[in-house]
């Protein structure tokens, strides 16, 4: 951040900044006016002695009317300007042409599903200069999807779909923050928005944008992007969940007293329905159930990755 | 009244002893007990806040882990709101001063007043129960707002804290009820509505909100407890409930409650300004009626907390407009306070320093509310540090500064002793400096998009976080100086006399500290409270 004013990356954001700048001028005027008069009075009418002559004025009707009417007109003006620009940021230009991405929030990761069936996690890819609509839903608690450079934000809730839209003018990478408190790793629920140039976008659509990953690389990628990394270390230290170091083939005792050897079946069951078989000493309700989100292939790749953590 | 000195006089502070205080029905003693209790929790919550700011000195995690951070910002908010600032000025200064200001021997229902205090103690005790149990599972981490469904899923102590807040609500309702009846029924002969001190008007407005809004949050928290215990399905989407309904219920109370906190603070300032300007308050009726106006409008603006919650287009539109309505009476108050100094005789003793500091800080608080009421800009600011800075300017820069100023102002009345003026001024400037250094950078951080309630942050936010955390430490030290000075004064300060500031208000017409019965005979009021410059030259 080189300047006090944050960068903007859409036309809508530029308009929001105009509103903000106008409000800032109003704020600065009233702040300086009020406090300058206050400070002036403090020095001008400083007590000189116990016999100071003071005014007996108790009020002034004209003044009361003036300083009621002026702020009223001013705030109505700001309200109107704010509503006008905001309406533009909420109303889709043309619904039919929008590129619709489905966004799912869960503790503590974002996943995206594109119209052609492609999916990505944490990193969202959109075309430059096209109207993009985000259709958002949560699998667990409240989250909020915030792109500071676009000046847009909307909560992601489990009970209904919410939406955002934007038209990104500049290619580049932008931050995505979760701004509704969602528990332990709320501050790590960070994504990146990649606005791709037409060439990059064509490659993305043709599924050539990413390098082809080996099962091991894919498994490791999922470990990071599905936010497993937040609770399961690979260095042997305990965290919110058991460490993945040496997990395959390890003897574990479950909360119900059973012991088992960690194998592919247990890994698969634990990814799909983690709360059913919790290792003793770890809390329930922390890990999202990934049933239906990961294919058998995905889980096999994660297993391949886990096997390497000796 | 002049006969008080010749009669046998025993100040209300004697006799001491646990039984004489804990079972007293005297409003002044109850006010002091509240004061000790809320200051205790203020210190606890303040330390939690400092732990949060210490962790934020640098990116990465240094002193606590993610859960620890979440616990401490939750404790900071929960204790500050429910145990400190909601009882705040009404329960302490209000209890002590209300009967004295209107010429009454006590509040309308003295035993109910004691019951309010006992309920407060019980509620505080239940909140503390949430700390029993393993730190990673029992200590609350939901934030003071208890948003569903997280508060339903969380393994931490949601039930003891919300049950405690539910109990504390009764204390608040009973105090409000007591004050409203007292103001209606207990005014001395001649103390008409328009002769009342403005502090009384502000207590009246705040009491109305306490009575009308508190039951809503009580029921809401009870529903949340039932949801957790029995899975009924009020707020859980998988059971057909609506988590957003909780937000609506919660803010239906928790926005008006902001005015329970700030209106009495405005009342304190309106008492200090005329005394130290030796001048009548400017626009008495405008200030009095704007308190009532703010109380009424406060019930219709809760939706601005839901501007990005998925609420409907037109709801956002309407709540934005309604929110701007609060700006008008607030602006009127500020203008009238400042005009009070016009052609006065202004002495900048520490209470006046606090009153003027209040106007300065509150003007920032009020003006930064404008971009949060404006839809286009709020979408960006929502749930960022900008909001955190804004409400700390109202709550600490406003309410706490007014409370501390009021404590300085009335300390000689409460204890009959004077604080050290120089240390009081040093304390003010430390607070002023530390506070601004803490929260001014947070406005900029919020503008840059720094989300609130983040245990960790990106490197580009590091410099301002560092500055803000250093400011917080100065802010903390300021309170040690301020409270140390006051506590010392209560024991060792020089005797203050009954009216050290030459105030015309009724509470200064009786000895300091006041006798247990306040007035030997109920005074008859013939003049306005603010007749400065008229009778005494």
Tens digits of residue pLDDT in B303-317: 999 999 999 999 999
For residue B355, being part of any structural domain is answered with yes
Domain C-terminal end among A31, A65, A90: A90
Q: Distance of CA A138 to CAs A161, B128, B139, B175, Å?
A: 8, 33, 26, 42
Which of A60, A75, A90 is a domain's end point?
Answer: A90
**Contact with chain B for residue A9, Cβ under 8 A:** no
A153 touches chain B (CB under 8 A): yes
pLDDT tens-digit series, residues B81-112:
999 999 999 999 999 999 999 999 999 999 99
A75 with A170, same domain: the answer is no
Burial environment of residue A168 by CB neighbours within 10 A (0 to 12, 13 to 18, 19 or more): buried
Report CB contact under 8 Å: A146, B370: no
Number of domains in chain A: 3
Which among B331, B339, B376 has the least Cβ separation from residue A82?
B376
Q: What is the value of ipTM here, to two decimals? A: 0.92
pLDDT tens for B367-405 read: 999 999 999 999 999 999 999 999 999 999 999 999 999
Residue A194 Cα distances to A31, A92, A122, A146, A175, angstroms? 40, 21, 11, 14, 9
Burial degree of B344 (CB within 10 A; 0-12, 13-18, 19+): buried
Q: Is the pLDDT of residue A287 over 60?
A: yes
The pLDDT, as a whole number, for residue A257 is: 87
Question: Could you tell me the residue range of the domain that residue B319 belongs to?
Answer: 27-509
Query: Chain A to chain B, count of Cβ pairs less than 8 Å apart?
Result: 263
Report yes or no on B522 lying in a domain: no
Note whether B370 contacts A26, CB cutoff 8 Å: yes
Q: B439-475 in b/e burial notation, b at 16+ Cβ within 10 A?
A: bbbbbbbbbbbbbbbbbbbeeebeebbebbbbbbbbb
pLDDT tens profile B403-448: 999 999 999 999 999 999 999 999 999 999 999 999 999 999 999 9
Which pLDDT band, with edges at 50, 70 and 90, does B455 fall under?
Answer: very high
Instruction: For chain A, say whether B384 makes contact (Cβ under 8 Å).
Output: yes
Pairwise CB contact (< 8 Å): B67 & A152: no
Range of the domain at A295: 215-307
| Number of domains chain B is built from | 1
Do the domain assignments include residue B42?
A: yes
If residue B78 lies in a helix (H) or strand (E), which one and from where to where?
helix B66-78
pLDDT at position B8 over 80: no
- Bond before B116 cis per omega within 30 degrees: no
Give the DSSP letter of residue A4. S
The answer to the question of residue A1 being in a domain is no
- pLDDT: which is higher, B133 or B63: B63
Both A101 and A85 in a single domain? Answer: no
DSSP state of B384: B
| Residue B518 near residue B105 (C-beta atoms within 8 A) | yes
Q: How confident is the model at residue B3 (pLDDT cuts 50, 70, 90)?
A: very low
Q: What is the CATH number of the domain that holds A58?
A: 1.10.287.90
Confidence of residue B535 (pLDDT cuts 50, 70, 90): low
Q: Is the pLDDT higher at B379 or at B153?
A: B379
Overall residue count recorded for chain B in this entry? 537
Given an 8 Å threshold on Cβ–Cβ distance, is A79 in contact with B373?
yes
pLDDT, average across residues A83-99: 88
The answer to whether residues A132 and A219 belong to one domain is no
Q: Are residues A66 and A99 in the same domain?
A: no
- Regarding whether A201 and A107 lie in a shared domain, the answer is yes
Distance from CA of A300 to the nearest CA of B (A): 30
Residue B261, C-beta contacts closer than 8 angstroms, at least 6 positions apart: B85, B86, B88, B89, B394, B395, B398, B399
pLDDT digits (tens, 9 = 90+) for B247-266: 999 999 999 999 999 999 99
Partner B, chain A 266-285, Cβ-Cβ below 8 Å: 283-285
Is residue B340 domain-resident? Answer: yes
Question: Does the beta-carbon distance from A57 to B343 stay under 8 Å?
Answer: yes
Q: Is residue A37 part of a domain?
A: yes
pTM for this predicted structure: 0.91
Give the CATH number of the domain where residue A258 resides.
1.10.760.10
Question: Does A117 share its domain with A193?
Answer: yes
Residues A187 and A222 in one domain: no
Q: What is the mean pLDDT of residues B212-236?
A: 95
Per-residue pLDDT at B1: 42
Q: Which of B149, B244, B338 sits opposite A41 (nearest CB)?
A: B338
Tokens (6 digits) for A140: 């667990």
Virtual CA dihedral for B36, B42, B47, B51, nearest 10 degrees? 170
Chain A residues inside the 8 Å CB shell of B282: 57-60
Residue B520 lies in a domain: no
What whole-number distance in Å separates Cα of residue B88 and Cα of residue B80? 10
Task: Answer yes or no: are the C-beta atoms of B228 and B156 closer than 8 Å.
Answer: no
Say if B8 falls within a structural domain. Answer: no
Q: What is the mean pLDDT of chain B?
A: 94
CA A218: distance to chain centroid?
25
* Residue numbers in A near B153 (CB within 8 A): 140-141, 285
Q: Does B9 score more than 90 pLDDT?
A: no
Judge whether residue A183 has pLDDT over 80.
yes
Q: What is the rounded average pLDDT for all residues in chain A?
A: 91
Q: Are residues A104 and A190 located together in one domain of the fold?
A: yes
* Start-end of H helices in chain A: 11-44, 61-90, 198-205, 215-225, 264-272, 296-307
Q: Where are the alpha helices (DSSP H) in B279-400?
A: 284-297, 313-340, 350-367, 370-373, 375-381, 385-392
* Residue A2 in domain: no
Is B463 domain-assigned?
Answer: yes
Per-residue pLDDT reduced to its tens digit, A21-32: 999 999 999 999
B534 to chain A: closest CA residue: A56
Residue of B nearest to A23 (CA): B371
In a domain, A113, yes or no: yes
CB contact under 8 A, B383 and A57: no
pLDDT at B369: 96
Looking at residue A6, the DSSP 8-state letter turns out to be: P
Query: With 90 as the cut, is the pLDDT of residue A293 above it?
Result: no
Determine contact: B373 vs chain A, CB below 8 A: yes
- Residue ending a domain, choose from A144, A176, A205: A205
Q: Which residues neighbour A80 within 8 Å (Cβ) at sequence distance 6 or greater?
A: none
> How high is the pLDDT of residue B97?
97
**Residue B297: inside a domain:** yes
Q: Which of A22, A27, A54, A60 to mutate to test the interface with B (most CBs of B within 10 A)?
A: A54
**Rounded distance, CA B175 to CA B163, Å?**
19
Residue B213: the pLDDT is: 95
CATH of the domain at A156: 2.60.40.420
Report pLDDT for B7: 57
Q: Distance (Å) from the C-alpha of residue B123 to the closest C-alpha of chain A?
A: 26
pLDDT band at B34; cut points 50, 70, 90: very high
CA atoms within 13 A on the CB side of A247: 26
Residue A230: phi, psi to the nearest 5? -65, -30
Q: How confident is the model at residue A95 (pLDDT cuts 50, 70, 90)?
A: low
Same domain, A74 and A153: no
Q: Would you state the pLDDT for residue B479?
A: 97
Same domain (yes/no): A65, A115? no
């Amino acid at each position: 951040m080189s300047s006090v004013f944050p960068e903007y990356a859409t036309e809508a954001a530029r308009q929001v900044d105009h509103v903000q700048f106008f409000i800032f001028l109003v704020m600065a005027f009233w702040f300086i006016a009020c406090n300058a008069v206050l400070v002036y009075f403090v020095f001008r009418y400083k007590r000189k002695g116990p016999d100071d002559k003071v005014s007996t004025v108790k009020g002034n009707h004209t003044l009361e009317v003036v300083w009621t009417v002026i702020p009223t007109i001013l705030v109505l003006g700001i309200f109107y300007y704010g509503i006008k620009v905001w309406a533009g940021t909420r109303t889709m230009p043309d619904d039919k042409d929008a590129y619709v991405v489905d966004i799912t929030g869960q503790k503590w990761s974002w996943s995206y599903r594109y119209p052609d069936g492609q999916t990505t996690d944490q990193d969202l890819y959109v075309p430059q200069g096209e109207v993009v609509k985000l259709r958002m839903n949560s699998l667990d608690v409240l989250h909020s999807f915030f792109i500071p450079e676009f000046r847009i934000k909307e909560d992601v809730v489990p009970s209904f779909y919410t939406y955002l839209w934007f038209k990104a003018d500049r290619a580049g990478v932008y931050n995505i923050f979760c701004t509704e408190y969602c528990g332990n790793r709320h501050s790590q629920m960070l994504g990146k928005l990649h606005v791709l140039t037409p060439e990059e976008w064509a490659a993305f659509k043709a599924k050539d944008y990413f390098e082809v990953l080996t099962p091991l690389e894919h498994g490791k990628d999922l470990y990071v992007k599905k936010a497993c990394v937040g609770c399961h270390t690979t260095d042997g230290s305990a965290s919110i969940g058991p460490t993945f170091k040496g997990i395959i083939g390890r003897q574990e005792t479950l909360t119900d007293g059973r012991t088992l050897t960690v194998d592919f079946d247990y890994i698969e069951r634990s990814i799909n329905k983690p709360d059913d078989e919790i290792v003793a000493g770890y809390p329930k309700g922390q890990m999202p159930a990934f049933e239906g989100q990961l294919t058998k292939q995905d889980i096999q790749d994660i297993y391949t990755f886990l096997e390497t953590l000796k | 009244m002049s006969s008080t000195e010749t009669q046998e006089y025993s100040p209300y502070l004697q006799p001491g002893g646990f039984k004489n205080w804990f079972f007293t029905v005297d409003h002044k003693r109850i006010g002091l007990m509240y004061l000790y209790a809320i200051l205790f929790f203020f210190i606890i919550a303040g330390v939690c806040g400092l732990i949060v700011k210490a962790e934020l000195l640098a990116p990465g995690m240094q002193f606590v882990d993610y859960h620890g951070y979440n616990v401490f910002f939750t404790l900071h908010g929960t204790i500050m709101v429910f145990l400190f600032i909601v009882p705040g000025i009404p329960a302490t200064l209000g209890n002590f001063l209300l009967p004295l200001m209107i010429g009454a021997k006590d509040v309308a229902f003295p035993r109910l007043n004691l019951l309010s205090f006992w309920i407060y103690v019980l509620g505080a005790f239940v909140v503390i129960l949430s700390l029993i149990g393993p730190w990673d599972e029992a200590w609350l981490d939901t934030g003071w707002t208890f948003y569903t469904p997280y508060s339903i899923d969380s393994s931490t102590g949601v039930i003891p804290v919300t049950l405690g807040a539910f109990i504390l609500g009764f204390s608040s309702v009973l105090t409000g009820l007591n004050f409203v009846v007292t103001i209606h029924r207990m005014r001395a002969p001649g103390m008409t509505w328009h002769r009342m001190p403005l502090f009384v008007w502000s207590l009246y407005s705040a009491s109305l909100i306490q009575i009308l809004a508190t039951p809503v949050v009580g029921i809401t928290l009870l529903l949340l407890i039932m949801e957790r215990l029995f899975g009924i399905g009020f707020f859980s989407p998988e059971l057909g409930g609506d988590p957003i309904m909780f937000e609506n219920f919660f803010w239906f109370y928790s926005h008006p409650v902001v005015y329970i906190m700030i209106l009495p603070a405005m009342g304190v300032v309106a008492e200090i300004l005329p005394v130290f300007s030796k001048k009548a308050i400017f626009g008495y009726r405008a200030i009095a009626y704007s308190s009532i106006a703010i109380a009424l409008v406060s019930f219709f603006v809760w939706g601005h907390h839901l501007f990005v919650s998925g609420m409907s287009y037109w709801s956002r539109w309407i709540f934005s407009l309604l929110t701007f309505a609060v700006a008008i009476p607030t602006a009127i108050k500020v203008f009238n306070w400042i005009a009070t100094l016009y052609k006065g005789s202004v002495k900048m003793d520490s209470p006046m320093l606090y009153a003027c500091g209040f106007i300065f800080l509150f003007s920032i608080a009020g003006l930064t509310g404008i971009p949060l009421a404006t839809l286009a800009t709020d979408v960006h600011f929502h749930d960022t540090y900008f909001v955190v800075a804004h409400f700390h300017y109202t709550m600490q820069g406003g309410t706490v500064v007014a409370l501390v100023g009021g404590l300085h102002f009335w300390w000689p009345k409460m204890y009959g002793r004077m604080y050290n003026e120089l240390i009081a001024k040093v304390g003010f400037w430390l607070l002023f400096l530390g506070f601004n250094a803490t929260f001014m950078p947070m406005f900029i951080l919020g503008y840059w998009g720094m989300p609130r309630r983040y245990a960790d942050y990106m490197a580009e936010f590091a410099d301002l976080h560092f500055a803000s955390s250093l400011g917080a430490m100065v802010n903390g030290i300021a309170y040690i100086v301020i409270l140390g000075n006051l506590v010392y004064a209560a024991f060792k300060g020089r005797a203050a006399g009954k009216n050290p500031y030459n105030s015309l208000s009724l509470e200064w017409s009786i000895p300091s500290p006041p006798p247990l019965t306040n007035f030997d005979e109920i005074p008859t009021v013939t003049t306005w409270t603010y007749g400065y410059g008229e009778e005494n030259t």
